[in-house]
């Protein structure tokens, strides 16, 4: 046995080891707080001292005259590693950031707060479906104020309340603060300031807040939230939806799949009923050019493809910078009337009434200019075919567009370019490889009859487009087509190249005057008279017009709700309504489940229906939303494009949960 002498007293080894163990434990007890204190203290500092964000309030312009508008801007700068949530915030956990006006000078009115686009943030631990919109580093919130004309000169205070949830990895803290902005009113507009260019650009990028729910009844900035849950929505508001696809394999979640779907969807568009008449004309052109040089055939086909591609670039620009969805151009009466006029004029051309006019700078009597005439005609036909394709939404197109139209402009242009390449691909192949034209029949007298038949097909397209117009416009547009027919007949039949230049100019000027004056009478005077005549249309016995209040009331009544997003200018919508929604089995299923049937008609501008469609994550139709009763009401199922009877029945049979999850 080993002993040590301490203070003259021998200590046994066993007792010494016990003391050493106690000493080691005491040392660790003193060291452990030093090891764990820094991270704990860091969190406590973040919670108990100054918040991890700074807010600076500005007004633009800094001086404003009474009666003018002014913007109050909250510039938010976050500490490194912290973020706040957007508004809307997305399907994941969290709370939306809110900026509310609490006090205003008398007569001043405030709009809802507007937010800049947020960054998509995915919490790895929560899974890919629990993403949120978030702001990192910095952002700004904009509130527009309208001042009355009698507001006195001087300084006026505007009080605001800012509420948010500030988070970093593993930690969230609620934060609210009162903010104040000063309005400086000057006596004359000449003394007022101007809004800086960059601020105007930023305002153009903003969107109105989707959620006005409060964060919590009270806040304690000394403790983090233990669990984050959405609070009940305010009465009259549609909550944020979490839609579930019935056919998840057709949904798109990334760039590669969107591009592939776009290529295939673009190719399929060539076979849609909207496009077939014009595409048939292009095939007719290949028949006529089969005996010509390969170079000319190639350039004619590439001109047609260039017309297709250029229109898709225009549509991409409209989607990126003007917020247009697929086919929404047909909501504009001016665009619809222009398409009717173009298609009708093209049908007259096929009947031999006149030759397609090409601008003077592109024409002369040389052979080279005749070739250019053919190239421009092919380009025109390509643009017309593409515009006529926009009401159609073929297979795969809806899923690709639903993802694409929520992305930045670069990705929108990429996917729309793939759509254009897919639609133009057959003509590019036939142009570059003339041997593929051997399967076409030889030219002959049958081509004349084929042209006339295609003219009738285009007239059928005109009739279909007329049915889309409001009833008070139909008579006027038919009269407009009548004046177009007279004008083009005078243009093409009452003068020839053998006539003097003076006669040709006079005759064709008269034709233009007849078409312009006839258009003014038809599209301005006649509709204004017809608008005063009351039209009584047959009301549907089943489907009711969509309204937010009806959807909210059905949610309270615990009912099934079916929302059909449709439009008269969408032939595929009419097709699925006839073949699916009016199917006897489907109708009986709706009746058995006491489903409320709502029709979200997008034939013309319909903001509530469009807003719900966007909340469902879609920008194209046909689209069917099915809201189940109970706690999952705000997680509706959806079907897009050309769905089938069995797809609808699957939702009511309860077989979608397992397959779509």
Distance CA 222, CA 410 (A): 44
Contacts of 28 (CB under 8 A, 6+ apart): none
Question: What does the pLDDT look like over 275-329, one tens digit per residue?
Answer: 666 666 666 666 666 556 667 777 777 888 888 888 888 888 887 777 666 666 6
- Confidence label for 49 from pLDDT (cuts 50, 70 and 90): low
- Confidence label for 367 from pLDDT (cuts 50, 70 and 90): very low
Would you state the pLDDT for residue 141?
94
Correct CATH for 544-660 of 3.40.50.150, 3.40.30.10, 3.90.1150.10, 3.30.460.80:
3.40.30.10
pLDDT at 347 over 90: no
**Dihedral pair phi/psi, residue 537, rounded to 5°:** -105, 155
Go through 92-125 and write b for each residue having 16 or more CB atoms within 10 A of its CB, e for each that does not: bbbbbbbbbbeebbeebebeebbbbebeebeeee
Question: What does the pLDDT look like over 398-445, one tens digit per residue?
Answer: 667 777 777 788 888 888 888 888 888 888 887 777 676 666 666 667
- Confidence label for 532 from pLDDT (cuts 50, 70 and 90): very low
Q: How do the domains of the chain map onto residue ranges?
A: 3-47, 53-232, 255-465, 470-536, 544-660
Q: Is 241 within 8 Å of 230 (Cβ atoms)? A: no
Please report the DSSP string for 557-624 in residue order: HT--EEEEEE-TT-HHHHHHIIIIIT-HHHHHHHHHTTPEEEEEE-SS--HHHHHHHHHTT--SSSEE
Would you state the pLDDT for residue 636?
92
34's enclosing H/E stretch is: helix 13-48
Q: Is 246 within 8 Å of 651 (Cβ atoms)? A: yes
For residue 247 the two structure tokens come to: 């056919």
| Homologous superfamily of the 53-232 domain (CATH) | Thiol:disulfide interchange protein DsbD, N-terminal domain (2.60.40.1250)
pTM: 0.44
Helices 367-389 and 409-432, axial angle in degrees (round to 10): 130
β strands within 450-560, DSSP E: 544-545
Would you state the pLDDT for residue 279?
64
pLDDT at 216 over 70: no
Greater pLDDT, 300 or 199: 199
For residue 412 the two structure tokens come to: 């929108």
Helix, strand, or coil (residue 464): helix
Distance CA 69, CA 155 (A): 15
pLDDT at 592 over 80: yes
Go through 624-634 and write b for each residue having 16 or more CB atoms within 10 A of its CB, e for each that does not: bbbbbbeeebb
Would you state the pLDDT for residue 356?
60
Over range 190-219, report the average pLDDT: 69
The region that residue 566 occupies, defined by phi over 0 for left and psi between -120 and 50 for alpha, beta otherwise, is beta
Would you state the pLDDT for residue 76?
94
Which residue bears the tokens 């939702």?
651
pLDDT at 599 over 80: yes
Q: How far is CA 336 from CA 378, 379, 446, 477, 624, in A?
A: 22, 20, 33, 10, 25
Would you state the pLDDT for residue 97?
92
Largest separation between any pair of C-alpha atoms in the chain = 140
For residue 194 the two structure tokens come to: 């101007």
Question: What does the pLDDT look like over 92-122, one tens digit per residue?
Answer: 777 889 999 998 888 898 888 999 988 888 7
H-state helical runs in 237-293: 255-269, 276-289
Contacts of 39 (CB under 8 A, 6+ apart): none
Which residue bears the tokens 């177009």?
484
pLDDT at 582 over 80: yes
- Confidence label for 583 from pLDDT (cuts 50, 70 and 90): confident
- Confidence label for 123 from pLDDT (cuts 50, 70 and 90): low
H-state helical runs in 178-254: 197-204
Would you state the pLDDT for residue 286?
64
Closest CA to 424 of 329, 323, 313: 313
- Confidence label for 523 from pLDDT (cuts 50, 70 and 90): confident
Distance CA 439, CA 455 (A): 24
The region that residue 396 occupies, defined by phi over 0 for left and psi between -120 and 50 for alpha, beta otherwise, is left
User: What percentage of the chain carries pLDDT values higher than 90?
Assistant: 11
Cα angle: 390, vertex 391, 397; to 5 degrees: 70
In this structure, the dihedral spanned by the alpha carbons of residues 411, 417, 419 and 423, taken in order and rounded to 10 degrees, is 180
Candidate from 86-90, 322-326, 525-529 with smallest mean pLDDT: 525-529
Distance CA 83, CA 167 (A): 5
pLDDT at 72 over 90: yes
């Amino acid at each position: 046995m080993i002993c040590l002498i301490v203070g003259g007293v021998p200590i046994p080894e066993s007792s010494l080891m016990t003391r050493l163990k106690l000493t080691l434990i005491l040392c660790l007890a003193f060291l452990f707080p030093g090891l764990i204190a820094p991270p704990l203290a860091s969190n406590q500092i973040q919670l108990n001292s100054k918040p991890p964000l700074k807010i600076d309030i500005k007004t633009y312009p800094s001086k404003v005259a009474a009666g003018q508008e002014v913007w109050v801007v909250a510039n938010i700068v976050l500490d490194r590693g912290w973020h706040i949530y957007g508004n809307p915030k997305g399907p994941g956990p969290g709370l939306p950031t809110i900026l509310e006006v609490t006090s205003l000078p008398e007569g001043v009115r405030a709009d809802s707060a507007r937010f800049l686009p947020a960054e998509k943030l995915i919490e790895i631990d929560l899974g890919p479906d629990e993403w949120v919109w978030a702001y990192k580093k910095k952002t700004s919130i904009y509130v527009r104020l309208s001042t009355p004309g009698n507001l006195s000169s001087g300084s006026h205070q505007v009080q605001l309340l800012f509420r948010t949830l500030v988070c970093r990895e593993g930690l969230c803290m609620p934060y609210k603060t009162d903010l104040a902005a000063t309005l400086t009113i000057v006596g004359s507009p000449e003394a007022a300031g101007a809004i800086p260019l960059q601020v105007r650009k930023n305002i153009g990028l903003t969107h109105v807040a989707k959620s006005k729910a409060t964060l919590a009844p009270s806040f304690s900035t000394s403790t983090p939230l233990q669990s984050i849950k959405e609070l009940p929505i305010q009465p009259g508001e549609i909550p944020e939806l979490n839609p579930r696809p019935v056919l998840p394999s057709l949904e798109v979640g990334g760039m590669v799949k969107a591009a592939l779907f776009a290529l295939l969807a673009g190719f399929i568009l060539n076979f849609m009923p909207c496009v077939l008449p014009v595409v048939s004309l292009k095939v007719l052109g290949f028949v006529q050019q089969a005996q010509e040089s390969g170079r000319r055939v190639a350039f004619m086909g590439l001109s047609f493809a260039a017309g297709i591609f250029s229109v898709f670039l225009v549509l991409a620009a409209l989607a990126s910078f003007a917020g247009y969805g697929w086919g929404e151009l047909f909501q504009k009466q001016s665009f619809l009337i222009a398409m009717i006029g173009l298609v009708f004029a093209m049908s007259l051309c096929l009947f031999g009434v006149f030759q397609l006019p090409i601008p003077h700078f592109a024409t002369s009597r040389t052979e080279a200019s005749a070739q250019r005439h053919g190239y421009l005609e092919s380009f025109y036909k390509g643009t017309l075919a593409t515009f006529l394709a926009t009401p159609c939404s073929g297979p795969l197109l809806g899923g690709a567009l639903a993802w694409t139209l929520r992305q930045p402009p670069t990705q929108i242009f990429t996917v729309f370019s793939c759509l254009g390449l897919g639609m133009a691909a057959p003509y590019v192949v036939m142009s570059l490889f003339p041997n593929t034209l051997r399967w076409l029949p030889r030219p002959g007298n049958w081509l004349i009859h084929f042209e006339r038949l295609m003219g009738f097909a285009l007239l059928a397209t005109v009739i279909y487009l007329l049915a889309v117009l409001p009833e008070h416009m139909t008579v006027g547009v038919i009269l407009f087509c009548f004046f177009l027919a007279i004008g083009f007949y005078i243009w093409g039949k009452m003068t020839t190249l053998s006539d003097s230049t003076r006669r040709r100019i006079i005759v064709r000027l008269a034709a233009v005057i007849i078409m312009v004056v006839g258009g003014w009478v038809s599209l301005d005077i006649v509709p204004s008279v017809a608008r005063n005549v009351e039209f009584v249309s047959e009301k549907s016995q089943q489907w009711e017009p969509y309204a937010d209040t009806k959807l909210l009331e059905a949610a309270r009544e615990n009912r099934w709700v079916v929302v059909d997003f449709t439009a008269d200018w969408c032939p595929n919508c009419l097709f699925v309504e006839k073949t699916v929604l009016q199917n006897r089995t489907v109708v009986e299923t709706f009746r058995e489940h006491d489903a409320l049937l709502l029709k979200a008609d997008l034939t013309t501008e319909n903001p509530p229906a469009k807003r719900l469609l966007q909340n469902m994550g879609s920008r194209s139709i046909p689209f069917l939303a099915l809201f189940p009763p109970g706690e999952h009401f705000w997680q509706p199922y959806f079907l897009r494009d050309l769905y089938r009877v069995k797809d609808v029945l699957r939702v009511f049979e309860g077989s979608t949960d397992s397959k779509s999850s």
